[in-house]
Chains A and B, each alone.
Chain A
Amino acid sequence: QKEVEQDPGPLSVPEGAIVSLNCTYSNSAFQYFMWYRQYSRKGPELLMYTYSSGNKEDGRFTAQVDKSSKYISLFIRDSQPSDSATYLCAMSRTGGGNKLTFGTGTQLKVEL
C-alpha cells in the first residue's frame, strides 16, 4: 500500500464549479498536511497548511483533515480557469527532518 494515494485525474470542470480533491494515507504518524498547486514547469506553490484534524478556510479554498479516516480534502469554490493546474497533497510527521511525502498529484482543468 502506498503511503499517500491521490487520484491522478485528469479532472475537468466548468468555470464556477465546486472542485473536490482528495488524498488518503496509511501512516498514522503524519501530523501536518499541505496542499500545493503546481503549474507546468514550475515548483509547488503552497496553498493550504493544516495541523491534525479539522477544517481551514482561505478565500475560495477549504482544507479538511480527518485523521480517524486518514483522509484529507481540498475544496475549491467558484473555480476559475486560472485554477487549472496540478494539485499535490503532501504530509509530514513530527521529528527528523520533517520531510514531505507527496501524492502523485491531481491534474485539474477548469473550462470556460
Chain B
Amino acid sequence: EPEVTQTPSHQVTQMGQEVILRCVPISNHLYFYWYRQILGQKVEFLVSFYNNEISEKSEIFDDQFSVERPDGSNFTLKIRSTKLEDSAMYFCASRGGTGANQPQHFGDGTRLSIL
C-alpha cells in the first residue's frame, strides 16, 4: 500500500539553526499538509498546500516557517531560526482527489529536538 515517507526520523538541532524536514507524499496525491504534535498534546494543523501554493495556515505557522515542493515528489517544511518550543513531532500528510471527500494519510513523523 502506498505510504507517506518522512526523513529524518529524528533531528537534533541547536537553537537558532535552520532545519528542513522532508516528506515524500503518496505519488498521485495533490494536497499536502504539515501538522505537529508537542509531547503529550494533541496533533495541531500547521499548513496546507495545493497547486504550488499555501491554501491555509494556522497561527503557529509564522514567518519562521515555510513550505516548498521543490520537485514532483518532495514536500519540505523549513524552520528558519529554531526555538526551544519548536521541539515536537512533525507529521506530513497527503490526500488525493479534487474534493474534500478524500481522507488524509500520514507519515510516521520527524521528531525534532531543539537544544
Contact = CB atoms under 8 A, between A and B. Distances in A.
Interface of A: 31-32, 34, 36, 41-46, 49, 51, 88, 90, 92, 94-105
A54 to B, nearest CB: 14
Nearest to A98: B100
A6 to B, nearest CB: 8
A23 to B, nearest CB: 11
Interface of B: 4, 6, 31, 33, 35, 41-45, 47-50, 54-56, 58, 91, 93, 95, 100-101, 103-109, 111
B42 A104 contact: yes
Which secondary structure dominates where chain B touches chain A?
strand
B48 A97 contact: yes
A70 B28 CA distance: 33
B43 A99 contact: no
Contacts of A98: 31, 48, 95, 100, 104
